[in-house]
Amino acid sequence: MGKKQAGTGPLSRRPDNSAFKQQRLPAWSPSLTAQTVLPTFYILSLVCLILGIWLLITVENTYQLKVDYTNGSCAQCFEMRKNVRNAKTDCKCSVPFFVEKNVSGDVFFYYGLRNFHQNLRRYMDSRDDAQMVGRKTNLKTPSSYCAPFDYDAHKVPIAPCGAVANSMFNDSFIVMHYPKDGPAVQVPLFRKGIAWYTDKNVKFRNPPTNETFTLHQAFEGTTLPFFWQHPVYELDTKDHNNNGFINDDLIVWMREAAFPNFKKLYGVLNRAQEPFADGLPYGNYTISISYNFPVEPFRGQKEVVISTVTWFGGQNHFLPIAYLVTSGLILVAAIGLTTVYVKVGKKGKNMEE
């Protein structure tokens, strides 16, 4: 009989006789006793309580004012925009509001929507990111993900294509302040620089242009989305450098919200002008609204949100409440375990053994 070949048989599969492979390395196995576990519970409860109170105080020091303009003073515009999105007839309305105290520091103006679901998968997929970076081929041949918002009835490609761009929020606002001892003053807002840096400089770019080849010419052969009133190269009539795919309002809208009730940045108070150097002074204000975005089809609401921010962000009570609730739950669990230990653990039926 021939010799048995080396490396065969059950012994060949045995791990090496080393401390690591034979699991003989030294290890630490904590002994969970009442004296170690219960203090940990109380300490965690105290830490969560302190963090919750700290965050709650921070949130309460954040100023926020919401001005709903869905209906009410804008009832006529609400009815006009019920079923028609791309109506060429302008509709304007005004909504007064009152700021009860001086709002110091930087003040941010947002538009808010309720019951608008930007987090639906098919809605989020309905876009062409390659088109949004200015690729010529994608301008003429939009992605199939954009359908049915890729071509119009005459088979002309849409730029930007997709449901996200098609539903872009297009209301505009002019805020007026009425001081007691002077004429009305328009509240100056920075309308550029409100998008994320990576979005503005990486994810969104215009097709190549030069001194003789304008942005209008770069978008020739394309048409505007169904519900838009102006083509993409004329989104900002006051600043030609804020048009096309690098328009700040478009970029802000294209970053989808995670929840159906959300707000998006519209502008930041320009504190270089008086009387807004220190922030937003108290008094009477009016918002003049160019009412274009319909909310009745999805039973939603629109509002203007005026807010300050801290290191924690805007006014959001979720995290401090979550910490306080967690602290309470841990404390209840700790008290329950302590009660069980006192009544059972010291009478011979020690749970540590």
Same domain, residue pair 347 and 302: no
pLDDT in tens, 131-178: 999 888 888 899 999 999 999 999 999 999 999 999 999 999 999 999
| Tokens (6 digits) for 5 | 């070949």
Same domain, residue pair 234 and 130: yes
Same domain, residue pair 187 and 239: yes
Same domain, residue pair 192 and 284: yes
Same domain, residue pair 230 and 352: no
Judge whether 111 lies within some domain.
yes
Q: Please report the pLDDT score of residue 31 as a whole number.
A: 79
Judge whether 170 lies within some domain.
yes
Count of CA atoms in the C-beta half-sphere (13 A) of 91: 21
Judge whether 223 lies within some domain.
yes
Which amino acid is located at 60 in the chain? E
Q: In whole angstroms, how far apart are CA 155 and each of 140, 148, 220, 250? A: 10, 11, 14, 24
pLDDT in tens, 287-302: 999 999 999 888 999 9
Same domain, residue pair 233 and 212: yes
Judge whether 109 lies within some domain.
yes
pLDDT in tens, 186-239: 999 999 999 999 999 899 999 988 878 889 999 999 999 988 888 999 998 888
Q: Please report the pLDDT score of residue 353 as a whole number.
A: 47
Number of domains observed in the structure of the chain: 2
Mapping DSSP to helix (H, G, I), strand (E, B) and coil, where does residue 174 land? strand
Same domain, residue pair 191 and 290: yes
- The whole-angstrom separation of Cα 294 and Cα 300 is 9
Dihedrals φ, ψ of 289, to 5°? Answer: -115, 130
- The whole-angstrom separation of Cα 309 and Cα 291 is 27
Same domain, residue pair 127 and 234: yes
Query: Is a pLDDT exceeding 80 seen at residue 128?
Result: yes
Judge whether 175 lies within some domain.
yes
pLDDT-derived band at 15, boundaries 50, 70, 90: confident
Judge whether 151 lies within some domain.
yes
Mapping DSSP to helix (H, G, I), strand (E, B) and coil, where does residue 189 land? strand
Q: Please report the pLDDT score of residue 89 as a whole number.
A: 74
Same domain, residue pair 217 and 244: yes
Judge whether 313 lies within some domain.
no
| Tokens (6 digits) for 164 | 């996200």
Q: Please report the pLDDT score of residue 33 as a whole number.
A: 83
Lowest mean pLDDT among 89-93, 168-172, 334-338: 89-93
- What are the DSSP E strand ranges found in 201-344? 262-269, 279-280, 283-290, 301-307
Same domain, residue pair 263 and 142: yes
Query: Is a pLDDT exceeding 70 seen at residue 346?
Result: no
Judge whether 25 lies within some domain.
no
Average pLDDT, the chain: 89
- The whole-angstrom separation of Cα 319 and Cα 59 is 10
Residue-number span of the structural domain to which 54 is assigned? 34-62+319-353
Which amino acid is located at 20 in the chain? F
Residue 107 near residue 307, CB atoms below 8 Å: yes
Same domain, residue pair 106 and 190: yes
Same domain, residue pair 228 and 291: yes
